[in-house]
Amino acid sequence: MTTKTQQAEQPSAPKNIYQRINAVMQEIDYIKKDKKISGGGANYSAVSHDQVTAMVRDSLVKHGIMIYPEQVRSEVLVARDKSKDIAMMLYEGEYKIHFVNIDDGQDRVTVQIVGHANDNGDKAPGKAVTYATKSAILKVFAIETGENDESRNYKEPEVVYATPEQVSKFYDLIAATSSDETTVLNHACLNVLKYGQVYAFTQLPERAANIVIGLLDQKLKRMSKDSQSAPAE
Give me the CATH number covering residue 23: 3.30.390.80
Domain shared by 56 and 126, yes or no: yes
**7 or 95, which is more confident?**
95
Q: Is 147 inside any structural domain?
A: yes
How high is the pLDDT of residue 169? 93
Please write the tens of the pLDDT for every residue from 191-213.
888 777 777 888 888 888 999 99
What DSSP element (H or E) covers 30?
strand 30-32
Of 98 and 6, which is predicted with more confidence? Answer: 98
Nearest partner of 94 among 63, 67, 131, judged by Cα: 131
Average pLDDT of the segment spanning 6-33: 80
In a domain, 211, yes or no: yes
The structural domain count of the chain equals 2
In a domain, 41, yes or no: yes
3-state secondary structure of 102: coil
Q: Do 142 and 196 have their domain in common?
A: no
Instruction: Report how far residue 2's alpha carbon sits from residue 5's, in angstroms, rounded to the nearest whole number.
Output: 8
Together in a domain, 132 and 49: yes
pLDDT tens figures, 48-95: 888 888 889 999 999 999 999 999 999 988 877 666 776 778 899 999
CA 116 centroid distance within chain: 30
The least confident of 8-17, 19-28, 116-125, 170-179 is 8-17
Least confident window among 33-42, 56-65, 144-153, 181-190: 33-42
Position 204 scores a pLDDT of 87
pLDDT at site 187: 85
**Side-chain-side CA neighbours of residue 188 (13 Å):** 26
Quote the DSSP letter at residue 81.
B
pLDDT at residue 40 tops 50: no
Q: Does 112 reside within a domain?
A: yes
Three-class SS of residue 191? helix
Q: What pLDDT was estimated at residue 37?
A: 52
Contacts of 134 (CB under 8 A, 6+ apart): 47, 48, 49, 52
Sign of CA dihedral 136, 138, 141, 142: negative
Q: How confident is the model at residue 160 (pLDDT cuts 50, 70, 90)?
A: confident
Q: Which of 151, 182, 201 is the last residue of a domain?
A: 151
| Residues spanned by the domain of 212 | 164-227
Indicate whether 219 pLDDT > 50. yes
Burial of 91 (0-12, 13-18, 19+ CB in 10 A): buried
Phi, psi torsion values for 4, nearest 5 degrees: -65, -35
Co-location of 113 and 184 in the same domain: no
Single-letter amino acid code for the residue at 12: S
How far is residue 95's CA from residue 127's CA, in Å, rounded to a whole number? 12
